[in-house]
Structure 1
Amino acid sequence: MGAGYSVSDIQVKPGKRTPAAPFTTSTLQQEASRKLGYGVSKTMRVAQQLYENGHITYMRTDSVNLSDTALGDITNTVKGMYGENYHQFRRYKNKNQSAQEAHEAIRPTYMNNSTVENPEWKRLYELIWKRTMASQMADAQLEKTTATIDISTNKEQLTASGEVIKFEGFLKVYREDRDEEDITEDEAAEGMLPPLQVKQQLPLVQMTATERFTRASPRYTEASLVKKLEELGIGRPSTYAPTISTIIKREYVEKEIKKVFPEISVCLL
């Protein structure tokens, strides 16, 4: 018979996650690159078409504010779709001190429209809708769990770390992605865990041994390059896409397509 595995101890700490602010130009470009594999030029082209056809507000903005009319619309939509306990009123402040905030954040014109028919616009519009909805939803309530697992044929123990969702909150609608360099090794090793109990028997489905090494900083993607431009105060929301297009056109960078995910990798020469 093979080894048996059982939970011998569980350490639980409560935690929570808070939703991200509504989209600005730069955060929309970053998230569309991460989630949809869109280059910044494509993101702005589709966003322009959505704006011109009345589906979203102005797409060149560095503001995270929403109008009172929009906040009321989002409140009614969240409560109507998910219930009172999923709503949490929020006003966001911009961390970027140079933000001009002439326009409100990028949002759908009418929140009861959760999608659009045009197949080319559909994915970006739904990304904007989900982010806007999540921004006014309740925190996700989590339990950060560390489980100690005994092995019947060995005195050594295994440890599983992760999170158990007790209340989905905004995660029911949307989860923000992050760039590779922003994720710590501990976070990369953790994931979601199912509910566990002491003495629970665990079937072995798969075991993987992973050796980790210190890695060099990853190459820029279009998303992380936009983020860096914003951090350094280079350009404005209207100039990120043409700036990146120009440096690619002039061959100041090499552009590569990742095989594992349709995202552009940019290597500065």
Structure 2
Amino acid sequence: MSALLEVRGVTKSFGGLTAVSDVTFDVQAGSVVGLIGPNGAGKTTTFNLITGNYRADHGTIRFQDRAIDRMRTHKIVQAGIARTFQNVRLFQQLSAVENVLAGRHCRTRSGALGALLRPPWQVREEREAAARAVDELAFVGLRGRAMELAKNLAYGDQRRLEIARALAADPRLVILDEPAGGMNEQETEELIGLIGRIRARGITILLIEHDMSLVMRACEHIVVLEYGQKIAEGSPAAIQVNPRVIEAYLGTEEV
């Protein structure tokens, strides 16, 4: 059976710099997969290739056995992939619930004419979308802050709000780019629990994360990049003792 996500021989260059070179890996349905590596390893570029922000120079990307490497970003979201970003990207002047509603937009039918005429089906759709947004806020622990402006939320709460917005799009795969960035120890612990609850909903997770404790506890499979190339993949236990991974993170002592 095909993997949910298949990345095959993907390469991306910017001018004379090759950010990702011949990278291949799979993400199985229902799994939590970590994509790790030192700074500049090509992790976020790989995410941007999967989500359509960049187009690969070579290679293919398939999702649910369908080629997505030439699809536009909004079509990839509609196909079932949602993401968060390394740097928080929220509508800072909108409330938390309005931010989540923005993520739900790809699953609604209303357009300009419907907004003007407001037929019964659109009123019902808007009501259902609002209820769903509140449900997702409750799921990530922000139910009591639904009406607060995004800019007034603590940084860790903004991270969780981004996750709620991604979940509102009904994804089969959620891509999390450094979700624990800027979080304290307690917030990181809560994030690990949240990742487990997302998986329990049947949603597959692919994440970049520098917090190795989180990666080792939350992920069942890990892919390691260095200088844009895959240098290892396997279980957390195997990755922890892999000599190439240890060298990539710690370097070797010159004699």
TM-score, normalised on structure 1? 0.26
Structure number with bigger Rg: 1
